[in-house]
Structure 1
Amino acid sequence: MDKAVIAGESPAGEFWPVQAWETTEPEAAGWSSAGLDLAWRFADTIATATVMIVQGGRVVASRGDLAHRYQCHSVRKSFLSALIGIHEEAGTIDLSRTLAQLGIDDREGLSEREKAATIYDLLTARSGIFHPAGYESPWMKSIKPQRHSQPPGTFWLYNNWDFNALGTIFTALTGAGIHDDFLTRIARPLGMEDFRFDGERRDGWLEQDDCSVHPAYPFRMSTRDLARFGLTFLRQGRWQGEQVIPANWVATSVLPLSDAGPRGGYGYMWWTERSGAGFPGVVLPAGSYSAQGVGGQNCLVIPSLDLVIVHRVNTDIKGTEVNRFAFGRLLRLILEARRQD
């Protein structure tokens, strides 16, 4: 197939995948093949399923089945954040509205103080609502403080109650299902090759839990489609000539609004670099940010290097994971393979 059909270059000189990704030789793009080999050898010793390195809109290197649709886990939160940004720009969602105004409650009941939390508080994981929530990892359960111990807006906590309740609020305000809206407003405009949400296959669903009325909204997505999502954020919400996600939302959602300690910072359901911190054993370039999911799902965007790195793990195999220490080491090896001119 003619490369002009497969991929395209914008008038501004930016390169984009159209029907498929185009690859370039690592050495030609300023990478060391020997250095990448070191990274791949380490990846072979852990549970890495796929890695995809995109620089300047082209694939520098990859390994694994890039079309396989792995579970995204908490990467879903960055998808919802992008959708909220689209509707906030359109005036459908007002971040200042409180849970009391929206009529949001839960099984154990929310106090008047808890209902004073705003959509913005939930978006930044600062609601102060420590009600039981579904789809939580053991780590998330272990860090949850005592109920009613913090007022809204004052205390950051990576809290699935906030993220799941945002899904309920999103559907109530927009009238749209999260996965349907993602297909229409993001997957199709970006030309995602593998994501489907139709009568034959649904790469997203709602996960109910008896502890809360607010379900989780898991996704499955291929590595190459997740890289398109990362490239859109790298390009300030643009895909070719279309502004898919508002540029101001992209910029503000990846600010390090909260200090997440050794995990870096946190914005609007995105993890951010903070003073180089983000993953153990590696210094992240300033301005980096990532969508992360349990088990080792990572979509890392490094604007200063014009770089997107996607890492996936097949958590459908019970007990399979790449922990933060192993991913940090792999990431350090990848970044060291990029030659410094």
Structure 2
Amino acid sequence: MRKLFVWSILTLMLGVFALVTVPRVWNPSPETQTAHSFADFDSSQIGALWPAPGPDDRKRARMILYKGDVIFADGPTDLIMNTHSMRKSIMSLMYGIAVDKGLIDLNKTLAELGIDETIPLTAQEKTATIRDLLMFRSGVFLPAAGEHDAQITDRPQRDSYKPGAYFFANNFDANALGTIFVQETGYEIGAFMDAFLAKPLGMQDFQAENVIMGDPWFMPSTDTQHPHYHTYMSARDFARIGVMVAQEGVWRGQQVVPESWIALSTAPHSDLRDNHIGYGQYSHAGYLWWIKDADGTVWTDGYGEHFMMVDAARDLVLIERNYTGNSYLSTGLWMFVYGNRSQSLNGMRAAYKWLVQERL
């Protein structure tokens, strides 16, 4: 009996260990992958302005692409990482493709779509359209999966603003857009992304299974009808998205996202200076993209210090990715060690300034 008990405990411990250490996603080797092209460019000055982390710091990947060619790359650019809120800009691009295919009508309301929430939506909230959600102007101020910081502490009172009237970057809008996307297109998010973004862009480290629906922990943190869609991508694959946006939806001669959607989604639909929350360096927001008027750049960013900067006028893309775990254990360790640590954008900004003023 004692031996059986011991073996039962050991088996349980091994099972738990396997569960928490097995990666959530794996690096694939898609048949449609294509390598990046590299320009003959002296990047030593960039490395000095934008130094690599120390040996005891997190895994960090950085790239700069000019006119589609890589002019600087550092760190594990092929390592798949959770994109966190950068997923939202990807969703914006997929909406553009779906609208072009006639699969989605942006003017449909939540009521018409049959969209509700565990905490039932009010009559006013149900008048929000898909377009309102893309602009973070739904007027739905409810708890949502994956939210943090100002999304929780500075959430306005319910029905305090009508849909379309006020900008609030919240996860209800982003997550509900995922629910609506699957409902209206008939595609799972990962499958659509693989077919209409990853394959046309020749991504090297992406497959449909890199999008995981739901909370990453054992117990969901929020009771909701709209799960968080975790999207895992490498820096070198995400950089392709930046180049495609900089080139008006084109990648190596192929129109991947309609040019009109790139223009519409990266236009300044919301003035963030008229908001009760300070959104840092950003002055405006588009359809799930951030805009910085000071230098005319478009950004996407995510928790854990994930950033991509697109300067379409110069066809220039800068990206930084930080590894935040790919299993229950590694994600938990990252949150414990690095979760409250912040690195500045000074290195990226310095490299960008030098390129613009001295080289391009």
Instruction: Report the TM-score range of the alignment, normalised by the length of the smaller protein.
Output: 0.7 to 0.9
Rounded Cα–Cα distance in structure 2 between residues aligned with 1:55 and 1:136: 34
Secondary structure of the equivalent of 1:295? coil
Secondary structure of the equivalent of 1:188? helix
Rounded Cα–Cα distance in structure 1 between residues aligned with 2:114 and 2:45: 58
One of 308, 315, 320 as aligned partner of 1:311:
320
Partners of 2:309 and 2:317 within 8 A in 1: yes
Alignment match, 1:293:
302
* Displacement after TM superposition at 1:139 (Å): 3.1
Rounded Cα–Cα distance in structure 1 between residues aligned with 2:141 and 2:307: 26
1:319-338 equivalences under 5 Å are 319-320=337-338, 326-338=343-355
Question: More deviation in 331-340 or 49-58?
Answer: 331-340
Alignment match, 1:205:
212
Which aligned runs of 4 or more in structure 1 are off by greater than 3 angstroms? 43-48, 321-324
Rounded Cα–Cα distance in structure 2 between residues aligned with 1:174 and 1:241: 26
Rounded Cα–Cα distance in structure 2 between residues aligned with 1:48 and 1:99: 41
TM-score between both structures, scaled by the size of structure 1: 0.84
Partners of 2:137 and 2:167 within 8 A in 1: yes
Alignment match, 2:6:
none
Partners of 1:107 and 1:211 within 8 A in 2: yes
* Displacement after TM superposition at 1:340 (Å): 4.7
* Displacement after TM superposition at 1:273 (Å): 1.2
Rounded Cα–Cα distance in structure 2 between residues aligned with 1:330 and 1:322: 20
Rounded Cα–Cα distance in structure 2 between residues aligned with 1:309 and 1:146: 37
Alignment match, 2:328:
none
Letter of the 1:330 partner, please give it: G
Partners of 1:49 and 1:64 within 8 A in 2: yes
Letter of the 1:291 partner, please give it: T
Distance 1:315 1:48, change over 3 A: same
Secondary structure of the equivalent of 2:112? helix
Partners of 2:79 and 2:234 within 8 A in 1: yes
Alignment match, 1:266:
285
Q: Which has the larger radius of gyration?
A: 2
Alignment match, 1:244:
256
1:154-303 equivalences under 5 Å are 154-197=165-208, 202-208=209-215, 209=220, 210-261=222-273, 262=280, 263-274=282-293, 276=294, 285-286=295-296, 288-303=297-312
Secondary structure of the equivalent of 2:94? helix
Partners of 1:256 and 1:266 within 8 A in 2: yes
Letter of the 1:269 partner, please give it: L
* Displacement after TM superposition at 1:207 (Å): 1.3
Secondary structure of the equivalent of 1:250? helix
Instruction: Name the Cα RMSD after superposition.
Output: 2.1
Rounded Cα–Cα distance in structure 1 between residues aligned with 2:231 and 2:200: 18
Letter of the 1:73 partner, please give it: H
Secondary structure of the equivalent of 1:84? helix
Q: What percent identity do the matched residue pairs reach?
A: 34
* Displacement after TM superposition at 1:229 (Å): 1.0
Unaligned runs of 5+ residues in structure 1 are 1-17, 277-284
Letter of the 2:317 partner, please give it: V
Rounded Cα–Cα distance in structure 2 between residues aligned with 1:78 and 1:322: 24
Partners of 1:36 and 1:333 within 8 A in 2: no
Higher helix share: 2
| Structure 1 position 82 matched with structure 2 position 93 | yes
1:292-338 C-alpha deviation (Å, 9 max, x unpaired): 111111121111221111101112222436977x4421122212331
* Displacement after TM superposition at 1:211 (Å): 2.3
Rounded Cα–Cα distance in structure 2 between residues aligned with 1:191 and 1:35: 27
* Displacement after TM superposition at 1:34 (Å): 3.0
Distance 1:321 1:48, change over 3 A: farther
* Displacement after TM superposition at 1:238 (Å): 1.2
* Displacement after TM superposition at 1:149 (Å): 1.4
Rounded Cα–Cα distance in structure 1 between residues aligned with 2:104 and 2:247: 24
